[in-house]
Structure formats: C-alpha cells, structure tokens
Structure 1
Amino acid sequence: MIIKRTIGKTLKALRLKQGLSQEDLAHECGVDRSYISMIEVGRNEPSVTKIFDLCKGLKIKPSDFFKVVEAEYQKLLQNSEEDE
C-alpha cells in the first residue's frame, strides 16, 4: 500500500512540476485520464511497462523516477518507525 501511494505521489509531483494536466500526461502516454488519476490517488499500481510509458510522457529517465520513489518510500518508513 505504501508503494502505491508513493508512486502516485511522485507521479503527481513530477506532473505538476512540469505544468501538465492529467489529461496532458494521459495523452502523452496513450492512456485515459482516469488511469492517471487512479495512480495518483494510490488506487492503481502501474506495471513496469506503464511506468516506462509515464516516464516517456514526463520526459524523464525511469531510473530518475525510481530514485524519487525510493527516497519518498524511505522517508515514509522512517516516519512510521518514529511513530512507533
């Protein structure tokens, strides 16, 4: 569950940073806008293939995307350990 939310949060942040709407990104990736929305809210987990498509639409390297996801994931883990 944490990974899905982290991927969604990262996707949304990168999309907004580039000034893209969900519709714009969906068009670039050949998917429906609702699919982008479902990923961003953590209700859908994209396959590796779709992540590569999303990165192409965002014009970033998949490795850069995964670095951001990993950093966010580590922060969430640290915060949850501190709360215990």
Structure 2
Amino acid sequence: MDITSYVGPAFRLLRERAVVSQEDLAFRAGLDRTYVSGIERGRRNPSLNSMQRLAVELSVSLDQVFILARKLAEQDEDLPAQKRVRKPHAHS
C-alpha cells in the first residue's frame, strides 16, 4: 500500500486536532506557510527533516503520522472510486 499521498492529509488532520493554524505551525517549525499548505494538499513532497519539524511542533512522532496516513489510505480504499479522497493517477 502506497501511503505517500496520505502523509499531507495526515499532517492536516493532526494540525486541526491540535487547533493550530497553518501559519502558526509553519512559523514554529521554521517553514513557509505556503510550503506547509502544499504538504497538506499533497502538492509538495516534504523532506524527512521537514516532516520531523512539523511532527515535533504537533507533539507527535513520525510513526503516528505514518500510522494515520495508512489509516486514511485504508479508509479511502474502502470507498467507491468516485468518492475517494485521493484518486489513483492514470498511467500513460
């Protein structure tokens, strides 16, 4: 199972649970807000360093982030294709 596209949504969910704005999280982690936004939307591929910085500021471990990402992926797989959060990419 590929959880890559679910890591960003996992960070977003953890941030929302912590009741922290993207701007505050980015500032505390020493990252740009637009970068954090891109991570959460799955548009950016964060480095391990960036993920660690975000996790520290959210008071979670990377293990917790990856476990949540896997759960999100599993939930998505159970949905019909048209209702999935992350649509599979068409291969050319």
Q: TM-score, normalised by structure 2?
A: 0.75
Gaps of 5+ in 2: 84-92
**Which secondary structure does the structure 2 equivalent of 1:79 belong to?**
coil
Note closer, same or farther for the CA distance 1:3–1:76 as it changes in structure 2 (3 Å cut): farther
**Farther off after superposition, 43-52 or 27-36:** 43-52
Give 1:1-84 correspondences, 5 Å limit: 3-4=4-5, 6-79=6-79
Structure 2 distance, partners of 1:2, 1:58, is 20
The count of residues paired between Structure 1 and Structure 2 equals: 81
Structure 1 distance, partners of 2:48, 2:68, is 15
Which structure shows the higher helix fraction? 1
Percent sequence identity over aligned pairs: 30
**Farther off after superposition, 20-29 or 44-53:** 44-53
| Runs of 4+ residues over 6 Å off in structure 1 | none
Q: TM-score, normalised by structure 1?
A: 0.81
Structure 2 distance, partners of 1:67, 1:41, is 18
